[in-house]
Amino acid sequence: MEPFKNKVVYQIYPKSFLDTNGDGIGDLQGVIRKLDYLEELGVDYIWLTPFFPSPQRDNGYDVANYRGVDPSYGTMKDFEELVAEAGKRNIRVMLDMVFNHTSTQHTWFQRALAGEEAYQDYYIFRTPRPDGGPPTNWCSKFGGSAWEYVPQLGRYYLHLFDKTQADLNWENPAVRRELAEIVRFWMSKGVKGFRFDVVNLISKGEYLDDPQGDGRQFYTDGPRVHEFLKELNRQSFGRDKEIITVGEMSSTSMEHCFSYAGEGQEELSMVFSFHHLKVDFAGNNKWVLIPPDFERLKNILFSWQEGMASHGAWNAVFWCNHDQPRVVSRFGDEGVYWKQSAKMLATVIHGLRGTPYIYQGEELGMTNAHFTRLDQYRDVESINHFALLRDRGMSEEGASSILRAHSRDNSRTPMQWDEGENGGFTQGKPWLSVNPNTAVINAASQTKDPDSVFFHYQALIRLRKQWDVFALGDFTPIDPAHPAVLAYKRAWQGEEMLCVNNFFRRPCLWNCPRSLEGFQVLLSNYPDSHPTQEWKLRPYESVLLHRG
């Protein structure tokens, strides 16, 4: 079995995890202090979002030095201690590499601005149109043009994200050599996993106006992306077969993912795809308020499960990360069925074919922040889009309601460790407000309660280690047309596992289309689940059944 198929990864957003020095910002020592908690949960890897030196325009995804530790997070000695202490608990460390772009404060970009042609070729500079405007009509994913003018150079540079995040020129072999060397540097520190940020955007196609307006057709899954990833694999992480890798794939196609994460392709171990997290978007626009489309959600999940399996490719399976709202607020219930819905959503993901990822606080059922004022937000994307919505004539309350549902800050509020002030996150002033429901939702209470969301996640992780069907089983949808039930079968060498879930807060009837004879309940979110052929599922009821 490949080293990643029966493993579980836990994502840590260090800035919001635990602050040990009272400055209101989480740090590496905070991660070290909570390793026992992570060992108790049972995870195998911890993925740390960027802690490198950064001006923090995009919370660390604007990297100014790939080989350092930002002083706000600690020191290199702290990082080395973290790797060693995690290893003692059989937990390995995965780092987040932001290789599509750097901060404009990075030495490379500063030398480009100073006129060094060699470093100007590290980025994507283009001359203006005849009228002085940007080279193309491409849009930044954070709003506005994807081009920024540099008067002293008389040229524009490309930034698919914030204007302080200049896109790297992967066509330049010197850039590719630099990045491979950076991966090898962290390998020498004992790192055993890498997550590559928006890595399918690294190969740009032609620089032409896009009739659809945003430019993504020219830079998504670009012409040389597979070549570049194979080269990076050969030159760095591919030299250590214990290392696992995952690529964040923005607006990708499944066909490309057959190569990105295909067995024997020598690119990446697995991929994050996001199509299932756009079922409450209008097209590609998330800055709207529409209910999730359950039928579409099932179709996407099931088609990716079947398609990737048929091509020997591997998924990272997840609901949450630092860029997504809290799943229990999004697809579950914050009220009377909060616990049941949080457990149901966990079961859906952990039963799928793929490596499960848990985002910090997800294992507690943390909810959206419900901020009421713009000045409570810190996320540059949210602030920019609030202004765009207002400019288009939307009321302040209308724009605020969209941010409350979709802002990335919903997932970035500090970890809720206990019911005390600031949730036990800091003794200072937190960089982002703590969710006031920390008095009810917190780790201290849940790690003592066998009926908690935490214990449910712990049980799911334990089952993955106990039964090979979770890691190796085939995937088959069950009754995919049912309007309320999400159900599927996994099968492996005589073992069968059924995962049955009512996705809604209203009870529903379900006629199971196959015999349940011989199946035993492995895990349920109700204490008295009794599966029958004609089954009345309670609100958000979720059951794992096993035979063999």
- Residue 514 confidence (pLDDT) above 90: no
Fold classified for 471-547: Immunoglobulin-like (2.60.40)
Q: Where are the beta strands (DSSP E) in 85-174?
A: 92-97, 101-103, 125-126, 147-150, 155-158, 165-167
Task: Tell me if residue 248 is catalytic.
Answer: yes
- The domain ranges of the chain are 107-166, 378-406, 471-547
Q: Mean pLDDT across the stretch 267-289?
A: 93
Rounded to an integer, the average pLDDT of 475-480 is 98
Q: Which of 27, 44, 58, 197 is catalytic?
A: 197
What pLDDT sits at residue 531? 92
If you average pLDDT over residues 164-173, what whole number do you get? Answer: 98
Mean pLDDT across the stretch 111-115?
A: 98
How far apart, in whole angstroms, are the C-alpha atoms of residue 359 and residue 197? 16
Which residues, 6 or more positions from 386, have their beta carbon under 8 angstroms from its beta carbon?
374, 377, 399, 400, 403
Kindly state the average pLDDT of the residues 279-294.
Answer: 92
Name the band, by pLDDT with cuts 50, 70 and 90, for residue 57: very high
What does the alpha-carbon distance between residue 447 and residue 217 come to, in Å, rounded to a whole number?
Answer: 47
Burial of 341 (0-12, 13-18, 19+ CB in 10 A): buried
Instruction: State the pLDDT at residue 143.
Output: 86
Mark whether 78 is an active-site residue.
no
101 residue type, one letter: H
Q: Is the pLDDT of residue 213 over 80?
A: no
Q: Judge whether residue 167 has pLDDT over 80.
A: yes
pLDDT value at 400 more than 80 = yes
Alpha carbon 499 to chain centroid, angstroms: 23
Per-residue confidence (pLDDT) for residue 3, from 0 to 100: 79
Compute the mean pLDDT over every residue in the chain, rounded to the nearest whole number. Answer: 96
* Measured distance CA(107)–CA(122) in Å, rounded: 11
Average pLDDT on 32-60 reads: 97
The CA-atom distances, in angstroms, between 503 and each of 110, 362, 537 are 51, 18, 10
Model confidence at 212, in pLDDT bands (50, 70, 90)? confident
Check residue 292 and give its pLDDT: 96
Is the pLDDT at 1 greater than 80, yes or no?
no
| Contact (Cβ atoms closer than 8 angstroms) between residue 359 and residue 17 | no
Q: Which neighbouring-strand residues pair with 193? A: 94, 244
Given the candidates 3.90.400.10, 3.20.10.10, 3.40.50.12280, 3.40.50.920, the CATH classification of the domain at 107-166 is 3.90.400.10
pLDDT in the model for residue 105:
98
Q: What is the pTM of this model?
A: 0.96
Write the pLDDT tens digit of every residue in 68-91. 999 999 999 999 999 999 999 999
Return the DSSP state at 434: P
Given the residues 248, 267, 362, 496, the one annotated as active site: 248
The predicted model gives 448-469 an average pLDDT of 97
pLDDT at residue 284, as a whole number: 80
Question: What is the pLDDT averaged over residues 177-190?
Answer: 98
Give the CA angle between residues 331, 335, 340 to the nearest 5°: 65
Instruction: Give the mean model confidence (pLDDT) for residues 200-211.
Output: 96
What is the structure's pLDDT at 59? Answer: 87
Residue 2 binned pLDDT confidence (cut-offs 50, 70, 90): confident
pLDDT score of 67 more than 90: yes
Confidence of residue 98 (pLDDT cuts 50, 70, 90): very high
Mean pLDDT of 471-500: 97
